[in-house]
Amino acid sequence: MAVEPTWYGRDLPVLAATVSLLSEPGHAPAVQVWQIAERVKWEPQDVFEALVALKDDYVVLQGAIRPGPGAVMVVGVTSEARRAVGQWPTPENISARLLAALQEAADRESDPAQKSRLRTAAEAVAGIGRGVLVEVVAKVITAHI
């Protein structure tokens, strides 16, 4: 019997909304389940189930889990949560942004010669392989080059 994946369809949207709410200037240091539910336009019970799945690795919950959504609030998120939603850099998301920026610059460029150079650069970056690019970016981030 296969287990239904929940990361992209349930957990990640709830995590992104939670990090966003906690990061807003002037926001309270805790987020209620109903606030997250309102942000993602879901039922509080669905948000609650995602938060329980995210507990410990991604979110810090306060309150009793047994009664249900009304008794729980998020009082913090982990550094891994910030990386998962793209708030903090990872070699993978920086690599993707670099490639997208080169492609976007080529699309916007009006000078044919410069457009060609940008497309060549984007193709070269894409052509070295994702693993190699991620490794190079990881070394740049950690200053090992």
Structure confidence by residue, pLDDT tens digits, 77-86: 999 999 899 8
Residue 101 sits in which domain range?
A: 91-141
- Total domains in the chain come to 2
Residue 29, burial from CB neighbour count under 10 angstroms (0-12, 13-18, 19+): exposed
Question: Is the residue at 2 inside a domain?
Answer: no
Q: Is residue 79 located within the same domain as residue 33?
A: yes
The pLDDT of residue 134 is: 82
pLDDT of amino acid 145: 53
Question: Where among 59, 84, 109 does a domain terminate?
Answer: 84
- Tell the residue number behind the tokens 């990872």, with chain if given: 90
Spatial contact of 54 and 14, defined as CB atoms under 8 Å apart: yes
pLDDT in tens, 2-48: 888 999 999 999 999 999 999 999 888 899 999 999 999 999 999 99
List pLDDT tens digits, range 68-109.
Answer: 777 899 999 999 999 899 888 888 888 888 889 999 999 999
pLDDT tens track for 112-122: 999 999 999 98
Q: Is the model's pTM score more than 0.75?
A: no
Last residue of a domain, one of 68, 84, 100: 84
- Other beta carbons less than 10 A from residue 79's beta carbon: 10
Is the domain of 109 the same as that of 79?
A: no
Question: Is residue 62 domain-shared with residue 13, that is, in the same domain?
Answer: yes
Conformational region of residue 105, where left means phi above 0, alpha means psi within -120 to 50, and beta covers everything else:
alpha
Q: In this structure, are 11 and 55 located in the same domain?
A: yes
Evaluate whether residue 54 is within a structural domain. yes
